[in-house]
């Protein structure tokens, strides 16, 4: 026979279990909110890093123009032998990714592309040469700025590891001839989007020098 006291104890246990379930549910919801917020914060930090990095490359390109009277061309309409084909990238994006090799060659100080800064070459962007970004030197930076594609091909990459895109037409091109949006050069990052993905197709997610988000 159940007494009133036993019934009260069972009721208390039931309420305790329900309260525990409510608390667990609230913790799970709060944890999900915190993780979502943290993801958004990390994404903003990375995008800010990319913007700062592109600004550094932009400044290097301007300094290069002052010294040489022209920006590094990509693609070069006269010397096509200097155009590098990067496996896995096609069409205009392939041309833009090839620009990452152009940026490396002209801004890193490693003009002969052996991975090391050349003795008499000007460095327009610090720590862009492959040796400075390789773990072989024992002090590679936390954020890598260039990678090897094998052989003597090196690419400038953004803080998320994607090749920096770069296009620059020769001076005097008409708007009809021009491949770039800017009259000088186009410089941009796809901000971690995978090629051929929906995010990659949405150019509003890119970080560019013609109107970044």
**pLDDT tens column, 121-157:** 999 999 999 999 988 777 767 899 999 998 899 999 9
- Locate tokens 């903003």: which residue? 44
Structural domain contains residue 81? yes
Residues 6+ apart with CB under 8 A from 193: 162, 199, 200, 202, 205, 206
In this structure, is residue 154 part of a structural domain? yes
The pLDDT of 84-99, averaged and rounded, is 86
105 is in which domain, residue-wise? 53-208
Query: Which residues face 161 on adjacent strands?
Result: none
Report how far residue 126's alpha carbon sits from residue 104's, in angstroms, rounded to the nearest whole number. Answer: 11
The pLDDT score that the predictor gives to residue 12 is: 59
Within a domain: 110: yes
pTM given for the model: 0.77
Is position 31 within any domain?
Answer: no
The tokens of 17 are what?
């279990």
Looking at per-residue pLDDT, the higher value among 44 and 57 belongs to 57
As for how many domains the chain has, the answer is 1
Over residues 79-104, mean pLDDT: 82
40 occurs within a structural domain: no
């Amino acid at each position: 026979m159940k007494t009133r006291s036993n019934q009260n104890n069972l009721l208390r246990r039931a309420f305790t279990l329900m309260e525990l379930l409510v608390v667990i549910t609230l913790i799970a919801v709060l944890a999900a909110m915190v993780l979502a917020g943290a993801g958004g914060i990390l994404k903003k930090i990375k995008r800010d890093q990319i913007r700062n990095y592109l600004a550094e490359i932009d400044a290097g390109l301007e300094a290069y123009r002052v010294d040489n009277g022209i920006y590094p061309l990509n693609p070069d309409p006269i010397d096509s032998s200097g155009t590098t084909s990067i496996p896995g990238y096609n069409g205009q994006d392939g041309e833009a990714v090839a620009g990452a090799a152009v940026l490396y060659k002209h801004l890193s100080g490693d003009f002969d592309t052996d991975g090391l800064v050349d003795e008499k070459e000007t460095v327009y962007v610090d720590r862009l040469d492959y040796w400075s970004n390789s773990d072989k030197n024992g002090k590679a930076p936390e954020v890598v700025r260039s990678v090897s594609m094998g052989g003597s091909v090196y690419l400038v990459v953004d803080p998320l590891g994607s090749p920096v895109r770069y296009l620059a037409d020769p001076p005097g091109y008409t708007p009809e001839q021009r491949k770039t949006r800017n009259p000088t050069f186009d410089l941009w990052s796809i901000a971690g989007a995978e090629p051929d993905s929906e995010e990659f197709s949405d150019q509003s997610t890119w970080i560019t020098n013609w109107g970044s988000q």
